[in-house]
Structures are given as C-alpha cells and as structure tokens.
Amino acid sequence: MTEPARSTAPSNAFAGAGRLADYWATVYRRTWKGSAISSFVTPLFYVLAMGVLLGDYVTSDPAQLEGASSYLVFIAPGLLAAQAMQTVFGEVTYPVMGMIKWHKTYFGMTATPLSVREVILGHLGFVLFRVALTCGVFAIVMAPFGVYATAYGAVLAFLVQLLLGLAFATPIYAFSAGLKDESAFAIVFRLGMIPLFLFSGAFFPISNLDPWMEALAKATPLWHGVDLTRMLTLGTVDGATALVHVTYLAVLAVLGWFWAVARLTQRMSV
C-alpha cells in the first residue's frame, strides 16, 4: 500500500517564517555596508550635534522639559524613538515594492509551501532585527552622556523601540503592499515621516504647539513612543500613561498586521 504524501507545509506561521532566516541573513550580509552610516554613525552625530552642541544654547527649567535636567537628556530619548521610525520607513516602503513588482521575490516564496502570512512574518522579523540593531547602537551611544536614570529604564526603553517599530511596520507594510507603483512613497516621506519627526515631541514639548496641533501630535504613534521612551530614561514612569502608550502601539501593530495580510494577498492575486 502506498504511503500517503506528507505535507511539507510549515506547522505554524513562525516555523514558516523561520525558514526565511537564511534568505534574510544573506540579504543583510550583502547589503549592510549601504546602511552602515545611517545605522551606526548617524546616531552619534545626532547626539553630539543636537544634544551636546545645540544643547549648550538651550537653558530651561526642567519643568519646561518634561522633567529633563538638560536639553541633551530631553532630546536623546526622542531621537532614539525617531531612529526606530526612520529605520522602519526605509525597510517597508521601497523594499516591499521591490519584492512584489521588480524582483518578484514574494512570488517565488509563495510558490513553495510558504503562505503569505509566513512571508510577511519573515519580512517583519528582519525589520525588527534592523530596528533592534540600529536602536541598540543608538542606546549604547547615549549611555556615556548620562541620559539614563536607571539601568532597567535603559533596557525597557530599548524594548519600547521594538514595539514602536512594529506599530509603524505593519500599517506601512500594508500600505506599500497594495501600491501599483512607487510614486506614493514621496508623499509618505515628505508628508508623513518628516512631519512626524519634527512635531511628535522629539525636539520640543508638544505643549508648545497650538491646541489642535498638540491633539494631532498625541494621536501619532511616534509621540506615544517618544513619551514612553522619555519616561523610562528619566525614571518618571506613570503607570496609567505608560499602559495607554503600550496599548495604543500594540493595537496599531495588530490592526496593521491584518491589513498587511489582506493587502498582500490581494496584490499577489492580481
């Protein structure tokens, strides 16, 4: 009697995504030099230029800097969160378009027993690796400047960047996956990433904005990430506020995940 064929499909999404680890490791080995400056050198320049040099000209009461003893201590957590956001934008816009339209890599992946969910999970795993690497370097660069009030606060602040990265990655991935061409990315960067970078509390307290702009800033994921990171680095964590931040970012990441699966499934069936 002939033995029935055994399915080679992964037993779960994480197992399937794990099969892509070699692919993403090979990609990074071949391309890491192109991101070395932005990932490892730029963080130091940001801290020196914005925190140390510019910070010497900013003298303010700690009450006006959300409890920070200096402008350097105030701005460093914001720059860390902004680094997570910028890394994600770079990894889930043009690269996703390339995997679908130019290189057709996703089509090759799904021609195997891998599903769309597993392909997305593998890609997002690589994005989290990039966020962890770039933000890890940034967090280490910040340490000699006396930014962290406690060691555990530094560790938790780093972990927040992973959650913040996911909160950006899944919805932006979903947006990119459904596009027919790359023209919309210019708008995403100019009207999305740059305004978020400037007006989400990284460089100055959003209480300095007009009331309607302050309310708009508080609705952005970057502000939640900046505020939570700053509370952890300063050691001024308010439990209720921190829970709101974590919940907001987690819900956004989950909703973005379902949207990403739906968008890529539809895009690849066209």
pTM to 2 decimals? 0.89
Residue type, 120: I
Is the confidence at residue 3, as pLDDT, over 60? no
The Cα 134–Cα 29 span in angstroms is: 15
pLDDT score, position 8: 44
The Cα 68–Cα 149 span in angstroms is: 10
For 39, 109, 139, 166, the CA distances from 199, given in Å and listed in that order, are: 22, 39, 22, 21
Percent of the chain at pLDDT exceeding 70: 90
Is residue 5 very low, low, confident or very high in pLDDT (cuts 50, 70, 90)? very low
Is the confidence at residue 77, as pLDDT, over 70? yes
- Condensed to tens digits (0 to 9), the pLDDT of residues 32-67 reads 877 777 777 777 787 777 767 766 666 665 566 776
pLDDT score, position 233: 94
- Average of per-residue pLDDT across 22-40: 82
CB 209 within 8 A of CB 195: no
- Average of per-residue pLDDT across 188-206: 91
The Cα 165–Cα 219 span in angstroms is: 16
The Cα 230–Cα 237 span in angstroms is: 9
